[in-house]
Amino acid sequence: MKIYESENIRNVALVGHADTGKTQLVSSLLYTAGMVNRFGKVDEGTAVTDFDEEEIERGFSISVGLAYAEWGKVKINLLDTPGFNLFLHETEASLAAADAALLVVHGVAGLEVQTEKTWGFANTYRLPRAIVINQMDRDRAGFDRVLEALKGAFGRSIVPVALPVGEERNFRGWVDLIRMRAALYEPNGSGKATEAEIPAEMQTAAAQAHEALVEMVAEGNDKLLEEFFEKGTIPLEDLVPGLRQAIAEQRLTPVVPAAGLANVGAESLLNFIAEYLPSPLYRGKVEGWEREGGPKVERKVSSDEPVSVYVFKTVADPFAGRVSYFKVMSGTLKNEATLVNFNRGASERFSHIATIQGKTQTAVAELRAGDLGAVAKLKETLTGDTLGDKAAPILYPKPKLPEPAISFAIEPKSRGDEDKLSSAIHRMLEEDLLLRFARDPQTKEFLLSGSGQQHVEVAVSRLKRRYGVEVTLKAPKIPYRETIRAKADAQGRHKKQTGGHGQYGDCKIKMEPLPRGAGFEFVNDIFGGAIPKNFIPAVEKGIIEAASKGYLAGYPVVDFRVILYDGSYHEVDSSELAFKLAGSKAFKACMEQAKPCLVEPIMNVEITVPENYSGDIMGHLNGRRGRIQGMEPKSGATVIKAQVPLAEMLTYASDLTSMTQGRGSYAMEFSHYDIVPQPIADKIVAAARAAGHGKEEEEE
Ligand SMILES: Nc1nc2c(ncn2[C@@H]2O[C@H](COP(=O)(O)OP(=O)(O)OP(=O)(O)O)[C@@H](O)[C@H]2O)c(=O)[nH]1
Ligand SMILES: [Mg+2]
């Protein structure tokens, strides 16, 4: 494997709504560049970056796939990200490895929910970007219509740099608006183009579009603007670097047409990426911290700097073990190097570093600053960790993750399954940062939490396939919480005199509600040693433990403040345990007065349906305690925005399909917690009590 200098590397993440053809496009580019012998197809289960059995079976991407195309002297690293809303946490986290985003948009569906969401991710990571209007070979695909929608959503930086030649199934190439030449493709799927004159009937449109492009390039660059005013145009030798710069500075978002499956546009797109998207060097420097909570440090993106790598993905392979995907943030990584994991203090040996082509690894001798690679069998390293030269510590920021939105109880099918469950799941947790596993302390049930039903289903299916562990998935659990609505003031005293050594702890606390999302606050307001200092943490601990077990229905109590203001102790009989129990009693006594209530997760829901269904959809949402926030037309459809309790959305996927004959789609994300209406709360509490949760009798 050739070694690529930083300036010849492109790290491009394909992002966008589900089903826009990202995975197919990656396979098409790889085939066109001669990286693979076979034209991989999503629909045949042979796409290079959807090789996981779950992805093949379900037909969509679940995690980020890595591949590369060697194109002339350039190595294009391609990150194929999922567009399905339940797996977007994977997409967002992987963008730390990218230096540019290729936003893939469907030529028929146009602007969709995740188009805007992933555009937002690119903003967060400040990534220069380009847009592909894909699937241009489909019936009713419309370049101009989709382009207008994109301009409407993202503003005037959106500018075509190529126009489609031919429509729908006759779509056969690009007019390159930079060089003003056409690239025409045979219908044989080779992805290779022949250069040609711009078709006569397109000359006027192409000239106009060229002018608009030139003007946008000139804007924001004084030297070019002057030239433009003087000559009315910019010569090619200035236009090319000018466009490159405008893209890198995110003043201009170039748009091109393509059809991944028909493989029209591939060669043009490879050329475009290599010529116009920035190399890792464009960033100049990367920022991190010297250590946790320590001062900020910067590192130049250069192969001559001390080496540092950031792990953006971990794969738990049941055979190869743990495989870590990383980006070389600075310096040169040599095979067999020993680096320090700055997050964990461990030394790790990088043996057999490799570049990744889907599921295939190719050994490399070294990787330069900016390049992406993988290594197996690091001992302690997990996603989000930074490793590097011991003498130059740095920590790069970890990905921010949403909270899981839903929990399911899972039940091992047999004793053997139960024994293997925990170790198998823990390996899967390394791979998927949003998956959570816990044991309910009261019911002893195993709980698996994730972004939504399919997310948890994928995990369950993997358990079986990869580790041979079979579990049944039980009804979903809503992650209710408990909180308080009033202030309270109470005493908790734990006193036992059973011959010999007694137990004595006594505290007085006040409790106050805090705003939603504030969690728990503990204020120590003890003066004059009513409780000795060393016992105060025990009181806090007792309260935290009691709060985690809940009061009404076994759900954690959140968003409250406790002020410890008085108490008493006994010289001999007081102990940590006694004060812990006193804290727990005081907490329970306060809860009686504090008007406890249940709160539930409320979701932001965005539903896209053909216009004639909107009445039905809104009626249905109203019946589900939904609050409609707005409704707007969008490329021939209607988008309805609402806030709906998660508890009412559990069967929404199938409801929507049956209400709209499969023509509606929706996306949902967590918004906030809100109080559960009393009659519903009563039922939840009654059911929880019947199952043995909630308020227990005080033992004295
Ligand atoms: N007609 C046509 N179909 C395409 C084209 N590209 C992809 N498809 C089909 O569209 C479907 C989705 O393609 P994928 O590549 O899996 O889409 P994706 O964007 O990776 O989807 P997610 O992984 O869910 O985000 C598949 O059935 C493809 O065969 C295209 O250019 N033309
Ligand atoms: Mg995909």
- Report the pLDDT value the prediction gives residue 166, as an integer from 0 to 100: 97
Ligand nearest to the CA of 21: 1
For the CA of 114, the nearest ligand: 1
For the structural domain made of 6-282, what CATH number should be given? 3.40.50.300
29 CA → ligand 1 middle, Å:
14
Ligand nearest to the CA of 16: 1
Nearest residue by C-alpha to atom 13 in ligand 1: 21
Please tell me the residue having the least CA distance from ligand 1 atom 14. 21
Close Cβ partners of 139 (under 8 Å, ≥ 6 residues apart): 108, 168, 169
**177-191: average pLDDT:** 95
CB atoms inside a 10 Å sphere around CB 511:
23
Q: From ligand 1's centre to the CA of 21, what distance in Å?
A: 3
Taken as a whole, the chain contains a residue count of 700
| Sequence-ordered alpha helix ranges (H) in 219-298 | 222-231, 236-248, 266-276
What pLDDT sits at residue 655? Answer: 87
Residue 68 pairs in a beta bridge with: 77
251-305 residue pLDDT tens: 999 999 999 999 999 999 999 999 999 999 999 999 999 988 889 999 999 999 9
Position 700 scores a pLDDT of 36
**pLDDT greater than 80 at residue 558:** yes
- Residue range 406-477 forms a domain whose CATH class is alpha beta
Is pLDDT at 692 greater than 80 in this prediction? no
Q: Domain ranges for the chain, please list them.
A: 6-282, 284-388, 406-477, 482-594, 599-681
| Per-residue pLDDT band at 474 (split at 50, 70, 90) | confident
Q: What is the pLDDT of residues 80-124, one digit of tens each?
A: 999 998 899 999 999 999 999 999 999 999 998 899 999 999 999
Q: Any idea which ligand is nearest the CA of 29?
A: 1
Q: Is the pLDDT of residue 380 over 50?
A: yes
Looking at ligand 1, which atom is closest to the CA of residue 82? Answer: 25
Nearest CA to ligand 1 atom 27: 43
- Ligand with minimal distance to 138 CA: 1
* Closest CA relative to residue 85, chosen from 449, 480, 476, 604: 604
Q: Using most ligand atoms within 8 A of CB, pick from 134, 261, 264 the residue to mutate for ligand 1.
A: 261
Say if residue 124 is exposed, middle or buried (CB neighbours under 10 Å; 0-12, 13-18, 19+).
exposed
Tracing tokens 């005080």 back to the chain, one arrives at: 698
Instruction: Look at residue 697 in the predicted model and tell me its pLDDT.
Output: 44
* Residue 343 φ then ψ, to 5°: -80, -30
Higher pLDDT, 587 or 516: 587
* Residue recorded with tokens 């109590």: 557
Q: Which ligand is nearest to the CA of 40?
A: 1
pLDDT of residue 136: 98
pLDDT category, 445, cuts 50, 70, 90?
confident
Distance (angstroms) between ligand 1 centre and the Cα of 451 equals 23
Average pLDDT for the chain = 93
* Superfamily the domain 284-388 falls into: Translation factors (2.40.30.10)
Residue 384 confidence (pLDDT): 95
As its CATH architecture, domain 599-681 has 2-Layer Sandwich (3.30)
**Which atom of ligand 1 is nearest to 62's Cα?**
23
| Phi and psi angles of residue 38, each rounded to the nearest 5 degrees, phi first | -110, 145
DSSP assigned state of 677: P
3-state secondary structure of 505: strand
Bridge partner list, 557: 482
Ligand 2 centroid–CA 183 distance in Å is 27
Kindly tell me if the per-residue pLDDT of 415 is higher than 70: yes
* Same-fold call for 6-282 versus 406-477: no
Q: Looking at ligand 1, which atom is closest to the CA of residue 259? A: 31
For 351-354, the CB contacts below 8 A with 24+ separation are 351/375, 351/376, 351/377, 352/376
Ranges assigned E (strand) in 23-94: 65-71, 74-80
Predicted confidence at residue 25, as pLDDT, reads 98
Phi/psi of residue 381, nearest 5 degrees: -75, 135
What is the pLDDT at residue 270? Answer: 98
Residues 325-345: pLDDT tens digits? 999 999 999 999 999 999 999
> Of the candidates 108, 155, 112, 114, which has an alpha carbon nearest to the alpha carbon of residue 134?
108
Phi, psi of 47, deg, nearest 5: -65, 140
pLDDT at residue 441 is higher than 70: no
Non-local CB neighbours of 538 within 8 Å, separated by 6+ positions: 505, 576, 577, 579, 580, 583
Res 698: pLDDT: 41
Query: What does the pLDDT look like over 113-152, one tens digit per residue?
Result: 899 999 999 999 999 999 999 999 999 999 999 999 999 9
* Alpha helix (H) residue ranges in 287-389: none
Domain 482-594: assigned CATH number: 3.30.230.10
At 443 the pLDDT is 65
User: Relative to the alpha carbon of 25, which ligand is closest?
Assistant: 1
What is the percent of the chain where pLDDT is above 90?
A: 79
> Which one of 42, 49, 62, 115 would you pick to mutate in the ligand 1 pocket, going by the greatest count of ligand atoms within 8 A of its CB?
42
**For residue 114, which atom of ligand 1 is closest to its CA?**
25
Distance 267 CA to ligand 1 centre (A): 19
For 604, the 3-state DSSP assignment is: strand
Q: Are strands 193-196 and 253-257 parallel, antiparallel or unpaired?
A: unpaired
Dist. CA 44 → ligand 2 center (Å): 13
Ligand 1 centroid, distance to 193 Cα (angstroms): 22
Report which ligand 1 atom has the smallest distance to the Cα of 83. 25
Q: Which of 14, 15, 17, 19 to mutate to test the pocket of ligand 1 (most atoms within 8 A of CB)?
A: 19
Model pTM? 0.79
Residue 182 reports pLDDT greater than 80: yes
Q: Ligand 1 test: best mutation among 17, 22, 24, most atoms within 8 Å of CB?
A: 24
* Burial (CB count within 10 angstroms: exposed 0-12, middle 13-18, buried 19+), residue 219: middle
Q: How far is the CA of 260 from the centre of ligand 2 (A)?
A: 12
Instruction: Give the range among 18-22, 138-142, 207-211, 513-517 with minimum mean pLDDT.
Output: 513-517
Closest residue by CA, ligand 1 atom 22: 18
Look at strands 253-257 and 129-134 and give their pairing: parallel
The alpha carbon of 444 and the centre of ligand 2 are apart by a number of angstroms equal to 38
Considering only residues 256 and 555, tell me which one the structure prediction assigns the higher pLDDT: 256
Q: What was the pLDDT predicted at 376?
A: 95
For a mutational test of ligand 1's pocket, the pick from 23, 86, 132, i.e. the residue with the most ligand atoms closer than 8 A to its C-beta, is 23
Instruction: Quote the ligand 1 centre to 278 CA distance (angstroms).
Output: 26
Express each pLDDT in 223-259 by its tens digit: 999 999 898 889 999 999 999 999 999 999 999 999 9
Q: Which residues have any ligand 1 atom within 6 Å of their CB? A: 18-24, 42-43, 60-61, 82-84, 134-135, 137-138, 259-262
Atom 9 of ligand 1: nearest residue by CA position: 21
Q: Whose CA is nearest to atom 2 of ligand 1?
A: 135
